[in-house]
Amino acid sequence: MAKRSLQLGRPAPIPASPGKAVLDRVPNPQPGTNYVARFTVPEFTTLCPITGQPDFAHLVIDYVPAKFLVESKSLKLYLNSFRNHGAFHEDCTVAVGKRLVALLKPKWLRIGGYWYPRGGIPIDVFWQAGKLPKDVWVPEQGVAPYRGRG
């Protein structure tokens, strides 16, 4: 089987759906060191599976890598593939976390999905996998609770 090249450094369209998106991984240059890598996605968009209306979230993904890192361009394309995908907030948040865990097999990963109100109620979804090494500093995710106009 031929090795597939990374999407990095070449044109790559936004995938039609999360299931068709390809996530790339690269070797961790510091595999013997515990550290946190964070991706902040302030403009995540998906569709309500019932109404088809757009839903918006601020995602924060923290992980302690083992052998691999997620390549950021492929992650951006994967996350953008949700913009025409209908799913509930809980499903989207957990699906992103599980897909990254399956790809990377990190020591620890957590995702916070801070969803903007739908029907007047903001929904926040949190998921994690693995065990946080005791010597790792993890800052707060820094997303304030929804305050409306307050």
At 125 the three-state DSSP class reads strand
pLDDT in tens, 73-84: 999 999 999 999
Q: Which domain holds residue 74?
A: 18-130
141: in domain = no
Residue 57: inside a domain, yes or no? yes
Is residue 124 packed enough to be buried (19+ CB in 10 Å), middle (13-18) or exposed (0-12)? middle
Task: Tell me the whole-structure pTM to 2 decimals.
Answer: 0.92
Q: Which of 24, 55, 62, 92 is catalytic?
A: 55
Judged by phi (left if over 0) then psi (alpha if -120 to 50, else beta), residue 117 lies in: beta
In a domain? residue 147 = no
145 pLDDT higher than 60: yes
User: Which CATH number covers residue 77?
Assistant: 3.30.1130.10
Tally of CB atoms within 10 A around 25? 18
Tell me, yes or no, whether 148 lies in a domain.
Answer: no
Domain count, the chain: 1
User: Does 77 fall in a domain?
Assistant: yes
92 is catalytic: no
**48 tagged catalytic:** yes
* Assigned domain for 71 exists: yes
